[in-house]
Structures are given as structure tokens and as C-alpha cells.
Amino acid sequence: MIGKEKLVERIEETELEKTHAGNDLWEKHIYMGDKVLIVGYEKEETYNKPNPGEEIIKNYYWYWELRDSANWNVLFDNHDKEFSFCESNVGGYTDQDRVEDLVGDIEEEDVCTWSEQDWIEDISEDIAEETIDWLKSLEK
């Protein structure tokens, strides 16, 4: 079985790739023998139509799944939305400098005050711990 440190390293170093399944759905596939760990994030659906020039906050959540690599069956998954982050843009400006030109000197953390898991490094240990627990339960 893979160790926690090695799994954390693989989670952090594997590239995220945009999937063909949706607009804002990104995943990394980490193969471990006959299992594959899928780590990704997707945009949370919003139903409000923004007014032109208004600030738009997009919410994303991280998820992960352990699948059988042969038949792609889901063995375990975590779609609890406990790890989330957000991005902000104003009037179509997504580049942070251009947003700051419009609304002043702001940091995205000040707009998305609860957004603390923007980077995979923020949650990789949690993902690794849960994945190792899943793998251990399969060995029993």
C-alpha cells in the first residue's frame, strides 16, 4: 500500500486537467495499481443572473473518489463540499490587476473571506488520510 507522504506528493504533483464532462470541472487521476484516485473540483451551480458590471463570485468545491481502474466503478467518494474556494470577477474582468483597477486595491481573500482551500496543497493531507483509510478497509 502507498504511504501517506508519497500519496500527498502524488496528489500535489499530478496535473489537473479539464474534463469533457462540464464547463468548470477539473480532475487529476492518480493510478495506484488496480485503483485510481480522482481528485477534482467543480463549479457550484448558481441560479442568479448577474447584472452587467457587478461583482460575480464563483464558488467551487473539491471532491475525490477512489475507483477500480479496470471497470471504473466507484469504491468510495467524498463529494461533501467541505473543502471549497471561490473566485471573484467584476464585469467580465477576471485578471486580478484589472479587477483592482475597477474596485480598488483588494485581495481575493478579502472578497472571498471563507475561501481557504484554493490550492491542492491546502487539502492534500486530508485527501491522503481518507484515501488510505479507504484502501485499508478494502484489505479487510
Quote the number of domains for the chain: 1
Residue 117 placed within a domain: no
In a domain, 40, yes or no: yes
pLDDT in tens, 107-131: 444 445 444 556 788 899 999 999 9
Confidence check: pLDDT of 19 > 60 = yes
Does a structural domain hold residue 20?
A: yes
Cα R_g (the chain), whole angstroms: 18
Residue range(s) defining the domain that contains residue 2: 1-91+134-139
pLDDT bracket for residue 104 (50, 70, 90): very low
Using DSSP's 3-state secondary structure scheme, residue 137 falls into helix
Q: What global pTM score does this model have?
A: 0.76
CB-CB contact of 135 with 35 (8 Å): yes
**With 60 as the cut, is the pLDDT of residue 102 above it?**
no
How far, in Å, CA of 105 to CA of 37, rounded? 40
22-41 per-position pLDDT tens digit: 677 889 999 999 999 999 99
pLDDT digits (tens, 9 = 90+) for 40-91: 998 877 656 666 666 677 788 899 999 999 999 999 999 998 888 777 666 5
CA-wise closest residue to 83 among 116, 34, 38, 58: 116
